[in-house]
């Protein structure tokens, strides 16, 4: 079989070449009519950051709360603590924090995107620097 590995195009590309989304007519700058605009995503970025921190704190506190409850149950049943208990506590806190951070980031980004679309000036023109609102839909 003879292959040409120097070509950058493929016959079975799933998406044909098309204009990027920012070139859509509804994203034209109202001041200079330029189509060279970019999304600012201020609300989305802030929401994701706040959600990540809040989710991580909630996940860690939930994990540690479960550890305390488990320790109380273990003491009540007169179970002996093993050497791996502190390691399990740390691992549980890390996993709880990570899962909480992921969930918080997702929710925060979605809420921030809604704020971007409805309240903030979420586009910036690269030609003149004007900021303006444009719906993503």
pLDDT tens by residue, 91-133: 778 888 888 899 999 999 999 988 888 888 888 888 888 888 8
What's the domain range around 83?
A: 41-132
Q: Are strands 37-39 and 123-125 parallel, antiparallel or unpaired?
A: antiparallel
125, 88 Cβ separation under 8 angstroms = no
Q: Is residue 112 part of a domain?
A: yes
In a domain, 118, yes or no: yes
Query: pTM higher than 0.75 for the full model?
Result: no
Tell me whether residue 82 is in a domain.
yes
E-only strand ranges, the chain: 37-39, 123-125, 131-132
Residue 63 lies in a domain: yes
Structure-block tokens of residue 53? 């921190």
Q: At what angle do helices 42-76 and 85-118 cross, to 10 degrees?
A: 150
Considering its fold, how many domains does the chain have in total? 1
pLDDT > 70 in the chain, percent: 64
Residue 51 domain-assigned?
A: yes
In a domain, 31, yes or no: no
């Amino acid at each position: 079989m003879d292959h040409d590995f120097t070509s950058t195009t493929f016959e079975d590309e799933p998406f044909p070449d098309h204009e990027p989304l920012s070139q859509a007519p509804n994203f034209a700058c109202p001041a200079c009519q330029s189509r060279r605009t970019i999304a600012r995503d201020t609300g989305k970025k802030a929401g994701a950051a706040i959600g990540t921190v809040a989710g991580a704190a909630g996940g860690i506190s939930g994990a540690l709360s479960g550890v305390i409850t488990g320790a109380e149950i273990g003491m009540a049943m007169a179970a002996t603590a093993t050497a791996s208990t502190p390691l399990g506590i740390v691992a549980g806190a890390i996993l709880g924090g990570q899962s909480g951070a992921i969930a918080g980031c997702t929710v925060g980004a979605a809420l921030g995107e809604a704020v971007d679309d409805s309240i903030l000036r979420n586009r910036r023109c690269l030609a003149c620097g004007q900021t303006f609102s444009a719906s993503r839909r």
